[in-house]
Amino acid sequence: MVKTTDITLGIIAKDLKKSPSEALVIGVAQGADGPALLDNPLSAKAAEALADTLGVLGITGASDQVHRLPGLPETGSPVLVLAGTGKPDGNGRASGESLRRAAGSAVRQLAGLGSVTLAFPTADAADVAAVAEGAALGSYSYTEHRSSRNGLKDPVPSVLIRTAVDAKEAQPLLDRALVLGRAVNATRTLVNQPPSHLYPESFADAAKELAKGLPVKVTVWDEKRLEKEGFGGILGVGKGSTRQPRLVKVEYAPAKATRKIALVGKGITFDTGGISIKPALGMGDMKSDMAGAAVVLNTVLAIAGLGLPVKATAWLCIAENMPSGAAQRPADVLTVYGGKTVEVLNTDAEGRLVMADGLVAASLEQPDAIIDVATLTGAQLIALGNRTAGVMGSDDVTGALKSAADRAGELVWPMPLPEELRPSLDSQVADIANIGERHGGMMTAAVFLREFVGKDARGEQIPWAHIDIAGPSFNNGSPYGYTPKQGTGCTVRTLVAYAEDLLSGTGA
């Protein structure tokens, strides 16, 4: 059910004719004085002639510009492609993220070709890694439910990267890029699945399928076990649907683990809003309300695939939020795992209810840090737009996540948790209400979640962060860079980078 990218990555050092491809891609920067060719393998004469024609051809070097020209005999490729890298950084170079996006954009827009050589300037290993990641992320499509392939183009299956970086140094970077590409693309595919095909039980099955061949343990709570053990948040949200909820634990526990993290993901496979039903316009996008669970699942699988000595556990809190005679009502009170009661004032604030169960369960294992990921609030889009995720929680964890996101090339912005928001969640009949202050709703939701984060062995709250990906997890606009329409797979790379930073001592 879940298809991942099968792209192959390799490097080539000098003579392009020895490993010819169908297209050779070189970069063009958006310089202050006009477009400028980046370092490339063309002869000086050919490069000069090409540079003189950029303006005539309408090439500016802007991001996502991809122009095809007839190939040159000296390259061995029938097509020469000019890919924009945007404005150079303060040092006059293409930044790592510029290279990542340009490589991804080129591979995405060259779909239908069998092989591509990327000849961007790669001065060091970091540049090679960025180009490789962009290629892996750009080689994606979702065509599972098409009855005909007429007009559809397959993603580029083979990419060579021209670089002077030694093969022994480059290979681990290519391997990492492939692992990240598979994880991000599997997340995209889960998000893109229609709710007729992805529902709590099938999502749990998909987790098992994706975990095959990896050293991870998958445990599934069905509705009977959830009821027996008191997971009232997940059960309360899911009881309005004929498709019963699930809790899935995906655990990677290497023998030499030096750190321990828990990831909790919101997995609402479809969100009608329940009795507090949503407007019909745009409701179809609510198939993506399980993106957080897809992210944490594939993050743990990527950490396992990379063999990082980090114990990583994902908790997938999965339900379908439907209106029916069995659905929970506004003013109902439910009991979350662990005993805390919640007054449900709005059934469309359901994500925080399933996440509460997951946060309590994750806390009992006392990890070094808990990070939850959710498409939680429309307020996130109002505050930060469609491409930037909001991160809230313990300063040390949010700061480390921001640093990891910067390194990974993803957009994350820390937000505060003002203490005056907590009283707005007070309930007259239960321990807490599921909605509070409307203004700053993204932060109010995080304040609610914080109530369910447990304590460590010293009796202090476990370091925790909440990432709201309501906007950046689903792209309703045009494709850009390495990002396709619909599911984006955002924050998988950030969380993997965070785990790596923990090991290097730069993370919290």
Helices and strands, number each (H, E), in the chain: 13, 20
Whether 352 is catalytic is: yes
C-alpha 167: how far from chain center: 29
For strands 217-221 and 246-252, give the pairing. Answer: antiparallel
Is residue 289 marked as binding?
Answer: yes
C-alpha 9: how far from chain center: 21
Is residue 33 marked as binding?
Answer: no
Report the alpha-carbon distance of residue 299 to residue 304 in Å, rounded. 9
Is residue 266 marked as binding?
Answer: yes
Selected catalytic residue, list 162, 182, 287, 352 = 352
Cβ(318)–Cβ(290) under 8 Å?
yes
Whether 287 is catalytic is: no
For strands 158-162 and 310-321, give the pairing. Answer: unpaired
Cβ(440)–Cβ(417) under 8 Å?
no
Can you give 178-206 as a three-state secondary structure string? HHHHHHHHHHHHHHHCCCCCCCHHHHHHH
Cβ(30)–Cβ(86) under 8 Å?
yes
Is residue 348 marked as binding?
Answer: yes
Q: Which two tokens stand for residue 187?
A: 């997340």
Report the alpha-carbon distance of residue 237 to residue 274 in Å, rounded. 8
Report the alpha-carbon distance of residue 448 to residue 103 in Å, rounded. 41
Q: Which residue has the tokens 């599997």?
A: 186
DSSP-derived letter for residue 69 is E
Selected catalytic residue, list 93, 278, 340, 450 = 278
Q: Which two tokens stand for residue 178?
A: 């492939």
Binding residues for Mn(2+): 266, 271, 289, 348, 350
Catalytic residues: 278, 352
Binding residues: 266, 271, 289, 348, 350
